[in-house]
Amino acid sequence: MIQKTLIILKPDCMEKNLAGTVLSRFEAAGLTLAACKMIQISETLVREHYAHLVNEPFFGFLSNWMMSRPVIVAVLQGENAIEKVRELLGPTKSANAPAGTIRGDFGNKEIVTYNICHASDGEASASAEIARFFNENEVF
């Protein structure tokens, strides 16, 4: 099934100049860019995006960090894109992510928050997240 999924190249990815490298991994796996832009995330957006984490002790750290510099949000499209992108990323904790995955290769092994890239985790979140960050006429 052809799907669309949302990714965010997080502040650590931008700071390390890894945006091209990370996008290349997705493209090499057969995924195609359907939308892409650089934005400074607002507090409203970050609270909405991480609504499931607002009560976590690390939420303040996570949200301040996500707003700390511009990030790239993009929509990737392809066969089984939602699961494929999550597999290419690896698990949330970069320390547990195997070599060859994006988080395993580039994420911070000590600081869980710094894991390079966000990706939608299911069909419902993918459509909600795409609509959160893009107008209809920005997705091709």
Give the Cα separation of 31 and 21 in Å (integer). 14
> Of 19 and 62, which CB lies nearer to ligand ADP in the complex structure?
62
Residue whose token pair is 């991994």? 25
Helix axes 19-28, 81-89, angle to 10 degrees: 130
Interface residues with ligand ADP (CB under 6 A) are 53, 58, 62, 92, 112-113, 115, 118, 121
> Of 96 and 140, which CB lies nearer to ligand ADP in the complex structure?
96
> Of 33 and 112, which CB lies nearer to ligand ADP in the complex structure?
112
**Smallest separation (angstroms) from ligand ADP to the CB of 58:** 4
**Smallest separation (angstroms) from ligand ADP to the CB of 140:** 25
* Residue nearest ligand ADP, Cβ-based: 92
Residues assigned a catalytic role: 118
User: 82-108 b/e with 16+ CB inside 10 Å = b?
Assistant: bebbbebbbeeebeebeeebbbbbbbe
What residues pair up with 2 in beta bridges, in sequence order?
79
**Smallest separation (angstroms) from ligand ADP to the CB of 43:** 16
Distance between start and end Cα atoms, the chain:
17
